[in-house]
Structure 1
Amino acid sequence: MNLNEIFQSVRAASRKLAMWDVETVNTLLCAVADRIEEQTDSLLEANREDLLRMEVSNPKYDRLKLTKERLSGIAADMRQVAALPSPLGRVLESYTVPSGLRLKKVSVPFGVIGVIYEARPNVSFDVFALCLKSGNAAILKGGSDADASNRAIVQLIQEVLEEFGADPHVVELLPSSREATAALLHAEGWVDLIIPRGSSNLIRYVREEATVPVIETGAGICHTYFDKAGDLDKGAAIVHNAKTRRVSVCNALDCLLVHRARLGDLPDLCAPLQESRVILYADEPAYEALSGRYPVELLRPATPESYGTEFLDYKMAIKTVEDIAEAVSHIYAYGSGHSECIVTEDKEAADFFTRAVDAACVYVNAPTSFTDGAQFGLGAEIGISTQKLHARGPMGLREMTTYKWIVEGDGQIRKK
């Protein structure tokens, strides 16, 4: 099939989805979850093909890698999505106007959603599950780094769909070429929405080139501000978890802001990071505070480029600030609107921070690593939206829907 034929087939399949009942969707999702566990070995073998083409030192390697445990988690997430209430058919508003017309605002699918992503094969399963549960057909455009993995995943899903007598075109994988990306971005009439997941360069390219509507799931340049009233034990645990839980994800910590009055506690605040060999790019006051208390080979002077960088690696910038206002100003200058955190025992400081910081997710005394659909109780998520139209933060099932108005009358006509 050429690309236009693929788009046409997915559009046709999306129209059939509107008539599926919730029980069928849930049963099918559970069947796919079962098949993931049954075919773990073949999925890992396909993934190994991709891993052999990538250097282990590449920060994307961890994103690309599938393991038995990760596949088991993906299957569990799919069953969790199946167990969630359907986001479709919810009556968002209902009222009667003076003419006697009865109006209902009801949640409905977008139709066809295209997702462009890089070396993260788990996204293929996540997107399929969320799209199917929300009544949307999915067009997947993965990167060449994960091509073998993605092809194996989509083949598995389509086999289950066919066994259920469903149209396998409810999910399609495009070739991993730039030409396929360009075609998807201009597939007006076939595709209703595009969601890019990946680097800031990818997201910028999609935003600038697409003629199909786009929801940005932006890069995560995340900060943690350790306030003068911050608890040291909490702070050390929060910074360590936010930075090292998984360095290659968008909610990983990139910059620690520390109140000047707490520079004496900075070595203890950063001490757990030594275990993971985290390289620190510290401004002059922070560098002096850490000298002799943090491994010399892991401590480097900060440069202007250290701030506003999404490291996706065992690296972190440190900036000394005079007060909370300067911390907020730094976040405005260098943040990406993703996730920001304050560590403080001062309620007024916490309230000021949560009001002043403009981000999709703002944390008080908890790490940014919690920015995740499953952690928010949304099941899997299709991405973290950093824009302000339609959806913001983790995009779960409800964010995968739009709405339409249903208007019921009894023969009324509009007067001039």
Structure 2
Amino acid sequence: MAETIAREANTAFSVLKTLSNEERSDALHQIYAGLKARKYEILQYNKLDMDSATANNLSSSLIKRLDLSGNGKFDAMLQGILDVAALPDPIGKCTLARKLDEGLELYRVTAPIGVLLIIFESRPEVIANITALAIKSGNAAILKGGKESYQTFKILSDIVNQVLDHHTKVPKDAIKLIESREEVGDLLSQDKYIDLVIPRGSNSLVRNIKENTKIPVLGHADGICSIFVDESADIAKSVRIIVDSKTNYPAGCNAVEQLLVHQSVAQDKIKLNQIHQALRNAGVTVHVTPEILDKLDSTDGVEAAGPDAFDFEYLSLDISVKSVESLEDAISHINQHSSKHTDCILTEVKANADKFLKGVDSAGVYWNCSTRFADGFRYGFGTEVGISTNKIHARGPVGLEGLMSYQYQLRGNGHIAAEYKGAGGNKSFVHEDISTNVRF
């Protein structure tokens, strides 16, 4: 069964990648219309999942991710489809052009990766996000949602399948939606047909997938993001950024989990308590080391930092706080303890910011702004398939560009290698760069 699913998706990919940008974008508009027309029905099914999650005492962070009705999430999901449809065609861009000889020209051209296997937990909007990005980029996709989002997943998948089958030129098998957990293990062995696995969910999910497949995996296991308050930081500005990074969406992988303060700030009771008071007013529990605890005016909402406090992703209104002696110590701590997702420095000294941005080995490095900006939509990517802490092939929020590879196209007119030096002949290559202002 899994082999059949993977093979059918691969066959659909061979057709999808040949469709025009207009045909692919029109399919997204059709999906948008189909989902919008049945919004009420979708939210009713989503409520069933929410009620079940509550009854089964699932974590608050998981329930927040599951909710499709809150904070305009449904409408944002639909708008994301249109945003992707409006993006420039990512296929067929020429990134290198070189004349090897008269009539023999080499082009490096962007091309889709192939078949994507996306396995996700909780977030039902991922179906729309991935479908839009996959179709626009010419990639086929196999999607597997978590059991906690089964009802929402089912209705969304039915609508997408119906739209593709009856209203578009995109092969219906270009987007495959599977429900069985047993099929996932078998799909992870289909490296002949599947080109990339993208897990979105808990660190245990990601780690399990990485350990059980030969297919390349794109994603991140944890979102342990850090903020460092430098000795020159503007405290009023810093407080706004810290509170937003923690409380805007605590369950997000880009929410800050650890706060490092320069020792001069930690020793300044006014500054330190200003930070603590703002977090306390926002309902945040701070997990602090002894040198921080000694300087706090109040212990309300304060707990001692445990042994794993700086290697832990809370995904809740909690944050670990400690003092560091210098900028260099902050960089060293982050490189050792963060998950290489997104880390930020708060400072008014550009030289310190530059050193931090160069020294921290994370996918996103920020200066004086909230870690919550680590998001494909906010980067202008339209939407994203996830955030990658890999260094190859894509890093950070992965949108259309991250779903593209490239091919070398060599266009000749009867040329053969035997005529050239190095292969038995006497002819020399020209190797002359020519214009890349072409599309294929």
TM range (shorter): over 0.9
The question of whether the paired residues in 2 share the 8 Å contact of 1:144 and 1:176 is answered with no
| Aligned residue in 2 for 1:369 | 372
Quick one: distance in 1 between partners of 2:8 and 2:82?
Answer: 27
- 1:196 Cα deviation after fit: 1.2
Quick one: distance in 2 between partners of 1:319 and 1:257?
Answer: 5
Q: Given the two structures, how large is their TM-score scaled by the length of structure 2? A: 0.90
| Aligned residue in 2 for 1:341 | 344
Quick one: distance in 2 between partners of 1:192 and 1:138?
Answer: 10
Higher relative CO (Cα under 8 Å, sequence separation at least 6) belongs to 2
Of 53-62 and 12-21, more deviation after overlay is shown by: 53-62
User: Helix, strand or coil for the counterpart of 2:417?
Assistant: coil
Quick one: distance in 1 between partners of 2:390 and 2:221?
Answer: 8
The question of whether the paired residues in 2 share the 8 Å contact of 1:339 and 1:363 is answered with yes
The question of whether the paired residues in 2 share the 8 Å contact of 1:238 and 1:367 is answered with yes
| Aligned residue in 2 for 1:46 | 45
| Aligned residue in 1 for 2:296 | 290
Quick one: distance in 2 between partners of 1:407 and 1:312?
Answer: 50
| Aligned residue in 1 for 2:432 | none
1:172 aligns with 2:171: no
CA distance change for structure 1 residues 273 and 161 in 2, over 3 Å: closer, same or farther? same
One-letter identity of the residue aligned with 1:347 = K
1:63 aligns with 2:69: no
1:26 aligns with 2:25: yes
The question of whether the paired residues in 2 share the 8 Å contact of 1:216 and 1:386 is answered with yes
Q: How many residues in Structure 1 have an aligned counterpart in Structure 2?
A: 411
Q: Deviations over 1:164-188 (max 9, x none)?
A: 24422111112241x2221121112
The question of whether the paired residues in 1 share the 8 Å contact of 2:133 and 2:399 is answered with yes
Q: Deviations over 1:286-339 (max 9, x none)?
A: 1122242x6x2x100111111111111111100111111111111011111110
* Structure 1, unpaired ranges of 5+: none
Q: Given the two structures, how large is their TM-score scaled by the length of structure 1? A: 0.95
- 1:157 Cα deviation after fit: 0.9
Q: Give runs of aligned pairs for residues 132-281 of structure 1, distance below 5 A.
A: 132-166=135-169, 167-177=171-181, 179-263=182-266, 264=269, 265-281=271-287
Q: Deviations over 1:346-389 (max 9, x none)?
A: 11110110111000010000011000011111110111110101
Q: Deviations over 1:77-119 (max 9, x none)?
A: 1111111101100001110125863100101111211111111
User: Helix, strand or coil for the counterpart of 1:318?
Assistant: strand
One-letter identity of the residue aligned with 2:302 = L
One-letter identity of the residue aligned with 1:151 = K
RMSD: 1.5
| Aligned residue in 2 for 1:402 | 405
Quick one: distance in 1 between partners of 2:281 and 2:48?
Answer: 31
Computing the radius of gyration from Cα coordinates, the structure with the larger value is 2
Q: Deviations over 1:18-58 (max 9, x none)?
A: 22111122122122222222211111111112112213753
Quick one: distance in 2 between partners of 1:113 and 1:57?
Answer: 29
Quick one: distance in 1 between partners of 2:22 and 2:85?
Answer: 9
Of 164-173 and 193-202, more deviation after overlay is shown by: 164-173
Of 36-45 and 122-131, more deviation after overlay is shown by: 36-45
Of 33-42 and 317-326, more deviation after overlay is shown by: 33-42
Quick one: distance in 1 between partners of 2:297 and 2:308?
Answer: 21
Q: Deviations over 1:109-141 (max 9, x none)?
A: 112111111111111111111000000111001
The question of whether the paired residues in 2 share the 8 Å contact of 1:337 and 1:360 is answered with yes
Percent sequence identity over matched residues? 32
Quick one: distance in 1 between partners of 2:59 and 2:167?
Answer: 42
Q: Deviations over 1:201-230 (max 9, x none)?
A: 211111111122222334211000000000
| Aligned residue in 2 for 1:95 | 98
Which of structure 1's runs of 4+ aligned residues deviate more than 6 A?
none
